[in-house]
Amino acid sequence: MDIWGVSGYPIILELSGQACVVIGGGQVAERKVDGLLAADAAVTVVSPTLTGVLAALARERRIAHVGRRYRRGDLAGQVLAFVATGDRRVAAAVAREGRRRGVWVNAADDPAHCDFYLPSVIRRGRLLVAVATAGASPALARAVREEIERRLPAEYAALTQTVAEVRRDLRARGTSPDAATWNRALAGTMRDVSAGDRGHDTRARLLSRLGAASA
C-alpha cells in the first residue's frame, strides 16, 4: 500500500483465446461475459439458468454453457474466474479453488474474495481508459468514467489508429520526435478532434506538428 492508501497494480491482460469462467447466469454475469468477449476470451458460463442474452450467446456458440451450479473443479484449465451469484459461500469456495490452482478470481461485490478488481472502462477503438477504486465504490468509478466519456468523442477511435500509423511511419524513416514534441503535437490534434474539426487531414497535420513532412 502506498502513502495515499491505494493498493493494487493496474494492468491490461491479453486474453485472446484464453479460457475464462463465469459462475452465475444473471445480469451481473452478463456484464462480465460482455467484457470478456470484447477481449476475445474463450468464455464458459456455469449456471443452471441464463438471461435471455446469455442464452442467445450459448445458442450461437459464442460461449460455452454448463447448466448447473458451481462444483469444485470448474476452475481447471481456466486463466480467470468471475463469481456473479450473490452468494458469498460460493464466492469463498471459488476463491479457495482459485488459490489452489493459481487462477485469479473476481467476486462481484465481495472484495474479500477478489484477487483483482474490474475497472469501469471506456473504449474508443484501440484506445481504452479504465477507472477503478480498488473495490471501494463501483458507483463512483462509473460516475467518473461517465464524466470522462463525455469528453472523449467517438472520433478518438480513428485518431488512435492515425497516431499508430504516424508512429510506424516515423520509425520507418528513422525519425524519433522526443516526448515533449509528441505531447505538443498530440495536444493540438486532440483539440482539433474534440472541437469537431473534421475538414482537414489529421495525419498530415500531426506529421507537420511533429516536424515531419507527409510522405
Tell me the three state secondary structure of residue 85: coil
- Comparing C-alpha atoms, which of 24, 139, 176 is closest to residue 86? 24
pLDDT recorded at residue 7:
66
* Model pLDDT, residue 99: 96
> pLDDT truncated to tens, each residue of the chain (215 aa)?
343 445 678 888 999 999 999 999 999 999 999 999 999 999 999 999 999 999 999 999 999 999 999 999 999 999 999 999 999 999 999 999 999 999 999 998 888 899 998 888 888 988 989 898 877 788 898 899 999 998 888 999 999 999 999 999 999 999 889 999 999 999 999 988 888 766 568 898 999 999 876 65
Fold of 19-117: Rossmann fold (3.40.50)
**How far apart are the C-alpha atoms of 114 and 43, rounded to whole Å?**
19
Measured between alpha carbons, how far is residue 78 from residues 28, 48, 56, 57, 107 in Å? 20, 20, 23, 20, 15
Write down the pLDDT at residue 80: 98
85 CB neighbour count, 10 Å cutoff = 23
- Which residues on neighbouring strands pair with residue 179, listed in sequence order? none
pTM value is 0.77
pLDDT of residue 101: 97
What is residue 213's predicted lDDT score, i.e. its pLDDT? 66
